Amino acid sequence: LSTVGVWGRGPMGSAGVLAAKALGGKVIALDPIAERREFAASLGADLVLDPTSATAHEEIMDFSGGGGITACLDCSGNGVAQNMALDVAAPFAKVAFVGESRETMIKPSDQLIRKQVTLMGSWYFGVAEYEDILRIIETGKIDLEKLATHTFSLDEAETAFRLFDERKTEKAVFVM
C-alpha cells in the first residue's frame, strides 16, 4: 500500500487527495491553512498536517512507519514544501512537482541520488492520459462534486475571484 503526501491543498491538491485515495493510497495532506486541512480530511485524507509545524517531518516519518513516503505530490510551488517532500521521500519514491515556482534549491545527493528518487514536473494532463482518467472516474471511486465547494453566477464573478485569491474557496464553478 502506497503512502502519498500531498503538499498544497488548492484544487490540484484536492484532486490529488481524491485520486490517491481512489487508487488505495494512505494519504497525508499538508497545508498551512486550517480550513484547507479540514477540507482534506473531509475528502478522506488519513492524516492532515500543518507543514510549518516543528513536528511535521517527524509525524510524516512516524505515519509511514519510519521508511518515508512512497509518492509525494507538491502542488504548492513553495520551495520549503518541495524540499520537505524530497526529504521524506522513501528510497525509490516518486516525487512530482505540480505547483509552479521559479527557483528552488535542493540537495541532489541526499534527496535524489542516494535514495534513487524519481523527480518529475507535471503541468495539467496530456491528451494521451484522458482515457485512463475517464476510466478511473467511471469507477465511481472519485466524487468530483466534492471539489466544487462554491457556485457563483456570472454576475458574482468579482466576488468569486476575490474569494479564490484570498484562498477562501476550493474549486469554484460558475453556473448560468
Strands 3-7 and 69-74: parallel
pTM of the complete model = 0.84
For domain 3-128, give the CATH superfamily.
NAD(P)-binding Rossmann-like Domain (3.40.50.720)
| Residue boundaries of the structural domains of the chain | 3-128, 143-176
pLDDT digits (tens, 9 = 90+) for 13-40: 999 999 999 889 999 999 999 999 999 9
Q: Is 160 helix (H, G, I), strand (E, B) or coil?
A: helix
Does position 1 have pLDDT exceeding 70, yes or no?
no
Residue with cell 471511486: 141
